[in-house]
Structure 1
Amino acid sequence: MTPLLEVVDVRKSYGDRVVLDDVTLSVQPHDVVCLIGSSGSGKSTLLRCLNLLEDIDDGVIRFEGHEISDPRVDPREVRQRMGMVFQAYNLFPHLSVLDNCTLAPRRVHGLSRRAAEDRARELLTTFGLSEHVDKHPDRLSGGQQQRAALVRALCTQPQLLLLDEITAALDPELTGEVLGIVRDLADRGTTMVLATHEMSFAREVATTVCFLSEGRILEQGPPAEIFTAPREERTRQFLRRVLPQ
Structure 2
Amino acid sequence: MSPPVLSCRALRKVYAGHVVLDRLDLEVAEHEVVALIGASGSGKSTLLRCVNLLEELDDGTVHLDGEHITAPGTDPDLVRRRIGIVFQSYNLFPHLRVLDNITLAPVRVHRRPRAEAEEQARELLARVGLADRADTYPDRLSGGQQQRVAIVRALVNSPRLLLLDEVTSALDPELVGEVLTMIRDLKTAGMTMVLATHEMGFAREVADRVCFLDAGRVLEEGPPRQVLGEPTQPRTRQFLRRIIEAGRL
Q: TM-score, normalised by structure 2?
A: 0.95
- Structure 1 counterpart SS, 2:157: coil
Residue correspondence of structure 1 range 154-165 to structure 2 within 5 A: 154-165=155-166
Show CA shifts across 1:97-122 (max 9, x none): 01111122223343322221111111
Which ranges in structure 2 are unaligned for 5 or more consecutive residues? none
Distance 2:201 2:189 in 1: 20
- Structure 2 counterpart SS, 1:177: helix
Distance 1:207 1:47 in 2: 18
Residue correspondence of structure 1 range 12-51 to structure 2 within 5 A: 12-51=13-52
Structure 1 residue 241, shift from structure 2 partner = 1.3
Structure 1 residue ranges, 4+ long, deviating more than 4 angstroms after superposition: none
Q: TM-score, normalised by structure 1?
A: 0.97
Distance 1:68 1:78 in 2: 7
Distance 1:176 1:235 in 2: 26
Aligned residue pairs total 245
CA RMSD of aligned residues (A): 1.2
Show CA shifts across 1:88-146 (max 9, x none): 11112221001111122223343322221111111111111112111111111111100
Contact 1:3 1:27 in 2 (8 A): yes
Structure 1 residue 164, shift from structure 2 partner = 0.5
Distance 1:67 1:130 in 2: 38
- Structure 2 counterpart SS, 1:174: helix
Residue correspondence of structure 1 range 1-245 to structure 2 within 5 A: 1-243=2-244, 244=247
Contact 1:10 1:58 in 2 (8 A): yes
- Structure 1 counterpart SS, 2:26: strand
Which ranges in structure 1 are unaligned for 5 or more consecutive residues? none
Contact 1:37 1:238 in 2 (8 A): yes
Distance 2:107 2:12 in 1: 35
Percent sequence identity over matched residues? 61
